[in-house]
């Protein structure tokens, strides 16, 4: 009955933590591709190849449903995977749609035509690959009209978080927010379009100011997943054990993961 959660590194642990709290009886198999992180500076073909390889590893671990808890993979690989790679009986979902549904105040599964929404000016903070894909804007256009999106590629933030250098990460967040505000001085809302960024949510909020509503993904994805499984209980796979897998150094990744989640996390080699 396992569900797989994939990320390029440790950022997806924010999603795993929220899913584990929302669905405590579902075993979760997490795979972080730390050996190849960050994905945000890679080519779309490279991201696709790495993401399909990791997803297959999770299928092999007994997961019929895999969540790409990585915005870069969701942006650059998901559609291509769904159109021609995902095997029959398996599902791969991304993390953009729950976020956009919350932003546009649409209910889960609402397939009505796009309409005007209250939010008019949205700041998107994401990796360079996610920004260049324009996947967020494409998914938003399916659901809303009249929304101006200004995207800021946040180079270096994921690297700093993965390396545990939170002082550098905080400085980079401030710099990227300043750059965004030069292009869009008064956003209504901000989207943290990378699952690493919730670890810096307080810094984003402080730099943006109290009047900007900051949307983060972890709890939104967890709630959307719970709804999905309620409607499709057969998608819970045959696996029965939770696990943490990494392509990186297990001891090093375990130490950093334990620091992030403030509880003991032990990774094994993928």
Of 2, 32, 13, residue with least CA distance to 242:
2
Instruction: Pick the catalytic residue from 2, 16, 63, 70.
Output: 70
* 136 contacts: CB under 8 Å, gap ≥ 6: 75, 96, 100, 124, 126, 130, 149, 151, 191, 193
Report the distance separating Cα 79 and Cα 75, nearest Å.
8
> What is the rounded distance in angstroms from the CA atom of residue 127 to the CA atom of residue 172?
13
Catalytic residue among 194, 212, 220, 222: 194
Cα–Cα–Cα angle for 255, 92, 53, rounded to 5 degrees: 60
154 is catalytic: no
Give just the sign of the alpha carbon dihedral 53, 55, 59, 62. Answer: positive
Q: DSSP readout, 108-156?
A: TT--SPPEE-S--EEEEEE-HHHHHHTHHHHHHHTTEES-EEEEEE-TT
Residue 173 tokens, joined:
């967040």
Assess whether 194 carries a catalytic annotation: yes
What Rg value do the Cα atoms of the chain yield, rounded? 17
Altogether, the residues listed in the chain come to a count of 270
Q: What residues act catalytically?
A: 70, 194
């Amino acid at each position: 009955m396992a569900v797989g959660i994939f990320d390029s590194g440790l950022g997806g642990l924010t999603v795993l933590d929220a899913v584990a709290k929302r669905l405590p009886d579902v075993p979760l198999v997490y795979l972080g591709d730390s050996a190849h992180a960050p994905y945000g500076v890679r080519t779309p073909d490279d991201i696709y190849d790495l993401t399909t390889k990791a997803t297959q590893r999770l299928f092999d671990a007994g997961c019929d449903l895999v969540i790409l808890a990585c915005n870069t993979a969701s942006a650059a690989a998901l559609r291509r995977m769904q159109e021609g790679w995902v095997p029959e009986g398996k599902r791969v979902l991304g993390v953009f749609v729950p976020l956009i549904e919350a932003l546009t105040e649409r209910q889960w599964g609402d397939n009505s035509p796009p309409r005007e929404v209250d939010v008019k000016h949205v700041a998107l903070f994401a990796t360079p690959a996610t920004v260049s894909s324009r996947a967020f804007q494409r998914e938003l256009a399916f659901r809303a009209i009249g929304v101006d999106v200004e995207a800021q590629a946040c180079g270096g933030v994921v690297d700093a978080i993965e390396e545990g250098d939170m002082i550098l990460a905080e400085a980079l967040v401030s710099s990227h927010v300043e750059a965004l505000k030069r292009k869009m001085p008064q956003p209504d809302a901000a989207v943290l379009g990378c699952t690493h960024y919730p670890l810096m949510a307080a810094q984003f909020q402080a730099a943006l100011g109290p009047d900007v509503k900051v949307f983060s993904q972890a709890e939104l994805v967890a709630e959307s997943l719970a709804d999905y499984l309620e409607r499709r209980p057969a998608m819970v796979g045959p696996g029965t054990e939770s696990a943490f897998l990494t392509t990186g150094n297990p001891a090093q990744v375990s130490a950093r993961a334990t620091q992030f989640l403030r509880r003991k996390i032990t990774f094994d080699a993928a």
